[in-house]
Amino acid sequence: MLQYAAPRGLKQWAEIYRLYQKAFPASEKKPFSIICRKYRQGKTDIWRFTRNGSFAGMVITINGESHILIDYLAVAEDQRGTGIGSEILGLMQKQYAGKGVFLEIESVYEECDNKADRIRRKHFYEKAGMQSMEVFVWLFGVKMELMSFGAKLTYEQYHAFYRDNYGQWAADHIQKAEK
């Protein structure tokens, strides 16, 4: 059974940090020190997932008043392909019931070296019940598409979400994009 809790102790934090460093491209990673600062401020949740006592994955959120951004979701390499990613999304939907849960994915409409991976990821989220919000942005130079479990956000609301939770500097690095 998949279980989750906030990390405790150096070993658990190290597992999350290593997976974060390995699972995401440099162009999409925030400095981990900023994530930890926002965690201490209550603007971010960090969840550590285990199955049968073994580390299985992690989620990092950004918490707004009415919306939750799943900022990072990663499954441990030895646990991939077992359905854990879908289980994690379901648990996050329950954890944040009553709030609009959404995430950003790299646009599948851009020509790029990893287009097949982008399409595979989008299909994964769709299979888990997420839908495109039809909002596209340039986020720190990476074209992203917003997806949710039925939540609605306009570009302006999304921009304000970042400004309110990560400050004007972060919001200044977001621009509206076309599909």
The b/e string for 62-75 (b: 16+ C-beta within 10 A; e otherwise) is bbbeebbbbbbbbb
DSSP annotation string for 155-172 = HHHHHHHHHHHHHHHHHT
Query: In CATH, what number is assigned to the domain containing residue 86?
Result: 3.40.630.30
pTM here is 0.93
Q: Are 102 and 147 in contact (CB under 8 A)?
A: yes
Q: Are 166 and 38 in contact (CB under 8 A)?
A: yes
DSSP annotation string for 41-62 = TTS--EEEEEETTEEEEEEEEE
Sequence letter at residue 6? A
Q: What is the pLDDT of residues 103-150, one digit of tens each?
A: 999 999 888 888 998 999 999 999 999 999 999 999 998 899 999 998
Question: Per the structure, how many domains does the chain have?
Answer: 1
Q: Are 118 and 108 in contact (CB under 8 A)?
A: yes
Residues 2, 151: Cα–Cα separation, whole Å: 25
- Number of helices (H) and strands (E) in the chain: give both, helices first: 5, 8
First to last CA, the chain: 39
Q: What is the pLDDT of residues 3-54, one digit of tens each?
A: 999 999 999 999 999 999 999 988 889 999 999 999 999 999 999 999 999 9
Owning domain of residue 113? 2-177
